[in-house]
């Protein structure tokens, strides 16, 4: 492994039916090519040494002996490569034929995994030739002068760092695939040498199987299926190469390619291990002995280290914001979760009135859109939504006008209450110099606004809807007992980078004309609490990202730190890859230190945060997802960064 990643490849060689020497030569070429690209394990298709469609030729001793001889040649000819090779062949044992996958490395045959489920229907009548691994008595076979473990119960342990196992083709398609047991026994990656023919829509089903099985097993899954050169007498083989990581396909081959192919990807093993550690249900299966025990084959493989290791997979700079069509689906799902959660809260407390502070910024806008849709869903009069704009010392005309205009377009109840006079009186009461724009100056305004919202809610028999998002909660970028507090927080599970896309999505899907234009302008407004007076041109002076750092960086830090428990060095390394030349290493390091300092020091706010719906994999609710002492120290995390500065 390198930096928690394991580089794998699925190879689709061109084959000649029954010509083991030719096939071995092509496999050898691809293995050497993969080794040059620092691949650590490569899997070839089912029966790759003979071809899968040899049919009754499998009974010919010539073919069987050639397959073993060429396996020996492949083993010998790749002994100088630092790569694990998984190659398929038919093997005679106990007067039976088995469908086997050989594992070789360093000039040695390390093990033979055998196919368990032998199809016997329509086009797949393998029972004509092959016997299930379940029918084997032997646990080893002597090949090349030494005993080699054989069976369907082998797990290969690489240096105590990583485990992998093999299931073959049909094994994946059965109700209880062997890979489930392998994963429970500790296999991090499953390799599948396969030979799946093509039918209409079959490829979509195959990909869904691989996604689901890799997700269910919390594992990597590397699939290589037979391609060009296999017999087309009755079927066609498209040469599918698929690499999946915990439910996500990260690499795919080109189907129906006449040229042989090699696809390479990195499985993030550290992430898999972290998820398994957190998943009690996963660990519970082994404890209860539901699966059968496996034999472990320990491998000592020289570590492959590279100076500038770049994983061959995309490191998303905005992990909370999917790209393409998935973004539209994600926005709709999140908006539905928010709406449904608020609807249930209002219904259960028999409340038809809510109060929201509307600033003209992204967060309060999203909260208002959620409330508006919820009222429509419940059949409530939208006049029961009271939007209050509370101009302060830093409020600009742009945000104020957008706030008022949006409330009018949505036909809700509108109040405007300036906080300037109340804050000025309070400054006098506590001896605060109004010209000193410090934390007291800012927090006074936030708490005054919260007081107005809470008291108005009491007055109309309603609840205050919180507007703060997940990123602000992580950084503590809210005023304790100010905007930190509400009676129900609809945005608490949504990171800042996603809030903007949600507002734009709602604007495009729901509104037209003036309402849409207002929402688009709000999405384009710089993020600011507007607690410091604007400049002479009425432009926002206090820009949040100038003070705490870019939210896209912080959301990246949150994702990798909280979701996967990544170490500071790894977060920095991944951020450098994800953001390329957009931010320098020095800049990323600066804001990463800020993140850790704020994240640790602001836990006291999270420990008493209001209720709100979880919408993704991360939540900071102290009642369920995130429990952390308020007096925890960030020093160990900061020191790790200072050591590499």
- Please choose, from the candidates 380, 389, 393, the residue with its C-alpha nearest in 3D space to the C-alpha of residue 408: 389
CATH of the domain at 236: 3.60.110.10
pLDDT in tens, 57-112: 999 999 999 999 999 999 999 999 999 999 999 999 999 999 999 999 999 999 99
- Burial-class residue 455 by CB neighbours within 10 Å (0-12, 13-18, 19+): exposed
Please give the structure tokens belonging to residue 362.
Answer: 């992204």
Q: Within a domain: residue 295?
A: no
Confidence at residue 540, expressed as pLDDT on a 0 to 100 scale: 59
Listed in sequence order, the residues at least 6 apart from 554 whose beta carbon sits closer than 8 Å to its beta carbon are 471, 474, 475, 496, 548, 591, 595
Confidence at residue 199, expressed as pLDDT on a 0 to 100 scale: 86
Confidence at residue 541, expressed as pLDDT on a 0 to 100 scale: 55
Q: Within a domain: residue 102?
A: yes
Q: Quick one: average pLDDT of 504-525?
A: 94
Say which range, 37-41, 212-216, 230-234, has the weakest mean pLDDT. Answer: 230-234
- Assess contact for 352 and 380: CB atoms under 8 A: yes
Confidence at residue 580, expressed as pLDDT on a 0 to 100 scale: 87
Q: Quick one: average pLDDT of 415-425?
A: 97
**What SS3 state is found at 513?**
helix
Q: Quick one: average pLDDT of 433-439?
A: 93
Label residue 542 by pLDDT band (50, 70, 90): low
Parallel/antiparallel/unpaired status of strands 154-158 and 162-166: antiparallel
Confidence at residue 532, expressed as pLDDT on a 0 to 100 scale: 63
Q: Quick one: average pLDDT of 216-227?
A: 96
Query: Residue 305 pLDDT > 80, yes or no?
Result: no
CATH of the domain at 429: 3.40.50.620
Q: Within a domain: residue 297?
A: no
Q: Quick one: average pLDDT of 266-283?
A: 89
Query: Residue 531 pLDDT > 70, yes or no?
Result: no
Helices then strands (H, E): number in the chain? 21, 22
Same domain membership, residue 349 and residue 259:
no
Q: Which domain holds residue 127?
A: 5-268
Same domain membership, residue 611 and residue 465:
yes
Confidence at residue 303, expressed as pLDDT on a 0 to 100 scale: 80
Confidence at residue 192, expressed as pLDDT on a 0 to 100 scale: 98
Percentage above 70 pLDDT, the chain: 95
Same domain membership, residue 388 and residue 499:
yes
Q: Quick one: average pLDDT of 184-203?
A: 93
Q: Within a domain: residue 511?
A: yes
Alpha-carbon dihedral sign for residues 620, 626, 628, 634 = negative
Query: Residue 174 pLDDT > 90, yes or no?
Result: yes
Which DSSP helix (H) or strand (E) runs through 43?
strand 41-43
- Burial-class residue 597 by CB neighbours within 10 Å (0-12, 13-18, 19+): middle
Looking at 7, 40, 46, 593, which residue is catalytic? 46
Residue 273 neighbours by CB distance under 10 Å: 18
Same domain membership, residue 337 and residue 205:
no
Q: What is the mean pLDDT of the chain?
A: 93
Helix axes 496-510, 551-558, angle to 10 degrees: 110
Confidence at residue 645, expressed as pLDDT on a 0 to 100 scale: 67
Q: Choose one of 249, 268, 287: the last residue of a domain.
A: 268
Confidence at residue 539, expressed as pLDDT on a 0 to 100 scale: 64
Looking at 115, 496, 500, 593, which residue is catalytic? 115
Q: Choose one of 228, 250, 268: the last residue of a domain.
A: 268
Which value, to the nearest 10 degrees, does the dihedral of the CA atoms of residues 225, 231, 235, 239 take?
20
Same domain membership, residue 572 and residue 504:
yes
Confidence at residue 14, expressed as pLDDT on a 0 to 100 scale: 93
Q: Within a domain: residue 280?
A: no
Same domain membership, residue 22 and residue 105:
yes
Looking at 20, 169, 217, 331, which residue is catalytic? 169
Same domain membership, residue 333 and residue 241:
no
- Asked if 169 is an active-site residue, the reply is yes
pLDDT in tens, 452-479: 999 999 999 999 999 999 999 999 999 9
Same domain membership, residue 382 and residue 530:
yes
**What SS3 state is found at 234?**
coil
Q: Quick one: average pLDDT of 398-406?
A: 95
Same domain membership, residue 337 and residue 243:
no
Same domain membership, residue 331 and residue 260:
no
Confidence at residue 537, expressed as pLDDT on a 0 to 100 scale: 65
**What SS3 state is found at 93?**
strand
Confidence at residue 197, expressed as pLDDT on a 0 to 100 scale: 85
Q: Quick one: average pLDDT of 569-575?
A: 97
Give the separation between CA 629 and CA 607, rounded to whole angstroms: 8
Which DSSP helix (H) or strand (E) runs through 484?
none
Q: Within a domain: residue 240?
A: yes
Query: Residue 287 pLDDT > 60, yes or no?
Result: no
Confidence at residue 72, expressed as pLDDT on a 0 to 100 scale: 98
Same domain membership, residue 225 and residue 92:
yes
Alpha helices, DSSP H only, in 512-623? Answer: 513-523, 544-548, 551-558, 568-579, 585-601, 603-606
Query: Residue 354 pLDDT > 90, yes or no?
Result: yes
- Asked if 409 is an active-site residue, the reply is no
Same domain membership, residue 378 and residue 261:
no
Q: Quick one: average pLDDT of 250-278?
A: 94
Query: Residue 536 pLDDT > 70, yes or no?
Result: no
Query: Residue 249 pLDDT > 90, yes or no?
Result: yes
pLDDT in tens, 317-328: 999 998 888 899
Give the number of domains in the chain: 2
Q: Within a domain: residue 181?
A: yes
- Assess contact for 89 and 49: CB atoms under 8 A: yes
Q: Within a domain: residue 303?
A: no
Confidence at residue 643, expressed as pLDDT on a 0 to 100 scale: 86
Give the separation between CA 645 and CA 635, rounded to whole angstroms: 15
DSSP string for residues in 13-26? ----TT-HHHHHHH
């Amino acid at each position: 492994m390198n930096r928690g990643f394991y580089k794998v490849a699925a190879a689709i060689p061109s084959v000649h039916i029954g010509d083991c020497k030719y096939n071995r030569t092509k496999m050898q070429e691809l293995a050497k090519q993969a080794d040059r690209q620092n691949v650590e394990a490569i899997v070839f298709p089912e029966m790759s040494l003979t071809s899968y469609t040899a049919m009754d030729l499998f009974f010919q001793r010539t073919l069987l002996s050639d397959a073993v001889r060429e396996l020996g040649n492949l083993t010998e000819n790749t002994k100088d490569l630092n790569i694990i090779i998984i190659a398929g062949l038919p093997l005679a044992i106990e007067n039976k034929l088995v469908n086997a996958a050989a594992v070789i490395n360093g000039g040695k045959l390390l093990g033979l995994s055998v196919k368990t489920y032998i199809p016997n229907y329509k086009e797949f009548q393998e029972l004509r030739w092959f016997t299930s691994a379940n029918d084997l008595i032997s646990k080893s076979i002597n090949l090349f002068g030494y005993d080699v473990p054989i069976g369907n119960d082998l797990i290969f342990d690489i240096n105590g760092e990583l485990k992998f196992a093999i299931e073959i083709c049909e094994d994946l398609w059965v109700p209880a695939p062997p890979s489930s047991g392998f994963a429970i026994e500790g296999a991090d990656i499953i390799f599948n040498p396969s030979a799946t023919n093509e039918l209409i829509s079959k490829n979509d089903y195959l990909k869904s199987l691989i996604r689901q099985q890799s997700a269910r097993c919390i594992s990597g899954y590397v699939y290589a299926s037979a391609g060009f050169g296999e017999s087309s007498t009755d079927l066609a083989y498209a040469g599918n190469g698929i690499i999946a990581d915990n439910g996500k396909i990260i690499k795919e081959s080109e189907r129906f390619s006449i040229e042989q192919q090699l696809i390479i990807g990195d499985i993030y093993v550290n992430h898999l291990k972290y998820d398994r550690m957190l998943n009690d249900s996963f660990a519970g299966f082994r404890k209860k002995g539901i699966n059968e025990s496996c034999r472990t084959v320990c491998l000592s493989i020289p570590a492959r280290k590279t100076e500038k290791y770049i994983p061959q997979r995309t490191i998303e700079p905005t992990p909370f914001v999917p790209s393409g069509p998935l973004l539209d689906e994600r926005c709709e799902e999140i908006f539905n979760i928010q709406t449904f959660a608020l609807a249930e809260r209002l219904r259960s407390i028999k409340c038809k009135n809510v109060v929201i502070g509307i600033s003209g910024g992204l967060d309060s806008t999203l909260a208002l859109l959620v409330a508006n849709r919820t009222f429509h869903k419940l059949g409530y009069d939208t006049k029961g939504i009271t939007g209050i704009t509370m101009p302060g010392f830093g409020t600009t005309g742009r945000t104020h006008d957008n706030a008022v205009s949006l409330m009018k377009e949505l036909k809700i109840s509108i109040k405007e209450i300036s906080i300037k006079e109340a804050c000025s009186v309070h400054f006098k009461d506590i001896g605060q110099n109004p010209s000193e724009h410090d934390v007291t100056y800012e927090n006074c305004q936030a708490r005054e606004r919260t007081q107005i919202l809470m008291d108005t809610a009491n007055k109309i028999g309603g609840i205050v809807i919180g507007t703060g998002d997940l990123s602000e909660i992580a950084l503590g970028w809210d005023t304790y007992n100010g905007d930190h507090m509400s009676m129900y927080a609809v945005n608490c599970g949504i990171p800042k980078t996603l809030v903007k896309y949600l507002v734009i999505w709602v604007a495009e899907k729901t509104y037209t004309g003036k309402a849409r234009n207002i929402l688009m302008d709000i999405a384009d407004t710089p993020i600011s609490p507007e607690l410091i007076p604007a400049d002479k041109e009425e432009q926002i002076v206090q820009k949040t990202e100038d003070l705490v750092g870019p939210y896209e960086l912080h959301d990246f830090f949150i994702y990798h730190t909280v979701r996967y428990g990544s170490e500071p060095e790894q977060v920095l390394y991944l951020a450098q890859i994800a953001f390329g030349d957009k931010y320098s290493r020095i800049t990323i390091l600066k804001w990463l230190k800020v993140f850790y300092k704020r994240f640790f020091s602001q836990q006291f706010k999270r420990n008493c945060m209001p209720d709100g719906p979880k919408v993704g994999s991360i939540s900071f609710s102290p009642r369920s997802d995130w429990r952390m002492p308020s007096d925890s120290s960030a020093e160990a995390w900061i020191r790790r960064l200072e050591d590499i500065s």
